[in-house]
Amino acid sequence: AELLDAGPDDIEKTLERLREGTARLHETALMIQSRLEEGTPDESTARLVQRRIADAEIAAERLGLLLLTARSAERADTLTLHLPGAPAPSVGHSPAPGEATEILRRDLAALRTLVLKPPAEARGTALSQLRNRLLGYRDEENLPEATPAVQDVFRGIGESARAVMGLRIALDGPQDESDDSPATARSREELDAEDAAIDAGEEAAAEDEPTGLRRPTTRAAVQVAVGSSLAIVGGEFLSTQRWYWAVLTCWIVFINTASTGEILVKGYRRLLGTVLGVVAGIVLAGLVGNHTWTAFGLVLVLIFAMFYTAPLSYTLMSFFVTAMLGLLYTLLHTYSMSVLLLRVEETALGAACGIVAAALVLPIRTDRRTNELLGTVLERLTDVTEGAVDQLSGGPAADLLDTARELDQALGDLRAAVQPLTHPITPLRSRRNTAQYVVALLETCAYHARSLAATAELLPTHPSIAADPRLRGAVRRTVRNIEAIAAHVEDEDTVTEVETGPSIASLLEPDAAGTPRYGRITGRVLRHLERLDEAVVGLARPLGVAVRTPQR
């Protein structure tokens, strides 16, 4: 809604807030999805809620882009729009004159009400009428008179309302349908048909998992055992009473890590936080002195800060833990600067033991780990792209949102694995820049693949979307390029190249003389395919894959 009223002077700040909100929405969706199996009664319910959350996230993201496109004198460039620091398109006047603008402002507020209304209050004729009106925008005849770009915004509002209703049904169960309009009833039928098709098509594919010492859990257990043994022996030499600090640090550096580089970065962060925390603990203990209640209050504040910063920064969490210990020893009248310095020594020893064990015992090199995860991301990207285009071309329905979620998870794993390469202290500056560039391009690819999947999910029930068999041929080049890059990542000796050529849109030949090359919905799909194709070609250079240009 802020974007609708923002003037030329405010558009940059509003766009930045929109980007931040979209990023937070995506992170929140991933956090919820990672904990669904623990908070839902069964696995099928968890899968249903996961699909609905992904659907709602993509609908909200698309609505923001549609509104920005309506505000812009030029079409929003979805290749860079969602990336931090991307320039805003040039902004014109309001997206539509007069009545359409007021209706749009009213319906954006109505959508917000629909989202924020608690389940206990989400009953009654007034709210039902509001929901019915928004869902009606999914039908062409209910769209207000406005420019095509603004009508796209109204369609986006309708799809967002459908996603909200689907999430409500998944979370709260069946709802009162007595006040449903035909558009609302049809949306419910679409959701039910979608669930039935996905449930019927689900197959439990047993994957071949590594065994023995190749299994990640077994390898980690051996490494932790060796590292802990070294930490116990070394910790005893430093202190017979505080040796467990070294062992605890050794254990912690192995949590949620999978390569030697990740363990190195985590050990460094814990040591840095501990050193800074010791300094803070010494300063605070000196300032507090014998004021017991002041020390107690500060301990509570530091405990809060410790848990608050845990998901944000491991260094900050370690800092607050150590600073809290300094004050706690003051409360217990056992404060000693030598104890805090001993904590630094034991922490350094434990981190060193973990790093040595990870580097010498069944090591996993960072580049090997990142290549494996990069291959997984490219494989998931191929699955989402092929599945979405196949469905948009008239193929059978598939669980595309679930596949898109797997792509997001694989990309998140890769993002965590490249942290040793992108860390500010890494001496390999060129590799750092390359890793950041590759991850940014993969995020762009994932965004457009998710958008294709969301559009494909609207088939075949949406009245304004029809399958276009020509899309299947148009995407072949993009899929071949992804597979070529994946083959090079798997084996650098493999000679591959990616292909560039005419735009994706130009690959669609007219069905017959005098008929349009492609329609509005196919045009939207083509824009995502174009950006995806450009981003995939952009991946070739930093990954060392040759680019072949067509002969003129």
Q: pLDDT tens digit string along 260-289?
A: 777 888 888 899 999 999 999 889 888 887
Cα R_g (the chain), whole angstroms: 27
Q: Can you give the pLDDT at residue 380?
A: 92
Q: In terms of residues, how long is the chain?
A: 552
Which helix (H) or strand (E) segment is 547 a member of? strand 546-548
Q: What is the pLDDT of residue 83?
A: 41
Q: By the 8 A CB rule, do 50 and 35 touch? A: no
Q: Residue 528 has what pLDDT?
A: 81
Percent of the chain topping pLDDT 70: 76
**Token pair in block for residue 544:** 């060392």
Q: For residue 283, what are the CA distances in angstroms to 125, 254, 270, 337, 510?
A: 62, 31, 20, 11, 76
- Tokens of residue 494, six digits: 């493999």
Amino acid identity of residue 433, one-letter, is N
Evaluate whether 371 touches 418 at the Cβ level (below 8 Å).
no
Query: Where in the chain are all domains bearing CATH 1.20.58?
Result: 366-548
- Show Cβ contacts of residue 475 under 8 Å, excluding neighbours closer than 6 positions: 385, 386, 389, 504, 529
Dist. CA 253–CA 270, nearest whole Å: 8
Q: Does domain 366-548 have CATH number 1.10.760?
A: no
Q: For residue 424, give Cα distances in angstroms to 85, 429, 549.
A: 20, 9, 36
84-98, 245-259, 322-336: segment of lowest average pLDDT: 84-98
Please give the pLDDT value at position 93: 44
In this prediction, residue 461 has a pLDDT band, given cuts at 50, 70 and 90, of low
The per-residue pLDDT for 234 is 92
* End-to-end Cα distance, the chain: 49
Q: Is the pLDDT of residue 94 over 50?
A: no
The proportion of the chain whose per-residue pLDDT surpasses 90, expressed as a percent, equals 13
Six-digit token pair at 361? 């015992």
Tell me the average pLDDT across 382-393: 88
Main-chain phi, psi angles of 364, to 5 degrees: -120, 110
- The whole-angstrom separation of Cα 65 and Cα 524 is 12
pLDDT value of residue 462: 57
413 vs 428: CA distance, rounded Å: 21
The C-alpha atoms of residue 241 and residue 475 are separated, in whole angstroms, by: 65
DSSP code, position 176? -
Using pLDDT thresholds of 50, 70 and 90, give the confidence band for residue 199: low
The most confident of the ranges 112-126, 165-179, 461-475 is 165-179
Q: What are 120's strand-pairing partners?
A: none
Number of helices (H) and strands (E) in the chain: give both, helices first. 21, 2
Confidence band for 446, pLDDT divided at 50, 70 and 90 = confident
The answer to whether the beta carbons of residues 236 and 247 sit under 8 Å apart is: no
Residue 16: both structure tokens together: 């930045």
pLDDT at residue 74 is higher than 60? no
Q: Which residues, at least 6 apart from 347, have a Cβ–Cβ distance to it below 8 Å?
A: 245, 246, 249, 270, 271, 274
**Residue 67 · residue 4 · CB < 8 Å:** yes
Record the tokens describing residue 526, joined without a space: 């083509």
Least confident of 18-27, 338-347, 440-449: 18-27
User: Per-residue pLDDT for 512 more than 60?
Assistant: no
Whether the bond between 460 and the residue before it is cis, its omega within 30 degrees of 0, is yes
Whether the CB-CB separation of 121 and 102 falls below 8 Å is answered with no
Q: Is 90 exceeded by the pLDDT of residue 457?
A: no
Spatial neighbors of 70 by CB under 8 A, at least 6 apart, are: 95, 96, 147, 149, 150, 152, 153
Alpha helices in 182-240 (DSSP H): 182-201, 216-238
- The CA-atom distances, in angstroms, between 423 and each of 82, 249, 429, 432 are 23, 21, 10, 8
Residue 77 is predicted with a pLDDT of 37
Structure tokens given for 355: 């790093």
Kindly report, residue by residue over 39-56, the tens digit of the pLDDT: 566 666 776 777 778 778
Strand, helix or coil for residue 464: coil
pLDDT of residue 43: 65
Q: What is the DSSP letter of 82?
A: T
For the cut 80, the answer to whether the pLDDT of residue 121 exceeds it is no
Q: What local confidence, expressed as pLDDT, does residue 349 receive?
A: 93
Q: Using 50, 70 and 90 to split pLDDT, how confident is the model at 348?
A: very high
- Asked whether residue 343 carries a pLDDT value surpassing 50, the answer given is yes
Instruction: Locate 81 and state its tokens.
Output: 């729009």
Label residue 230 by pLDDT band (50, 70, 90): very high
Report which of residues 215 and 195 the model is more confident about.
215
Q: What is the mean pLDDT of the chain?
A: 77
Distance CA 159, CA 59 (A): 6
pLDDT average, residue stretch 153-182: 80
Among residues 346, 340, 347, the alpha carbon closest in space to that of 237 is found at 346
Show the beta-strand stretches assigned E in 437-510: 497-499
pLDDT at 305: 93
Spatial distance between the Cα atoms of 270 and 317, rounded to a whole number of angstroms = 9
Q: How far is CA 258 from the centre of its chain?
A: 20
Q: What is the pTM (predicted TM-score) of this model?
A: 0.55
Is 107 in a helix, a strand, or coil? Answer: helix
- 488: pLDDT strictly greater than 80: yes
- pLDDT of 246 above 80: yes
Would you state the structure tokens that stand for residue 130, as one six-digit string? 């509001």
Q: Is the pLDDT of residue 190 over 80?
A: no
* C-alpha–C-alpha distance, residues 246 and 224, integer Å: 12
Higher pLDDT, 87 or 61: 61
CA distance 201 to 291: 67
Q: How many CB atoms lie within 10 A of CB 346?
A: 24
Residues 490 and 493: their CA atoms lie apart, in Å, by: 9
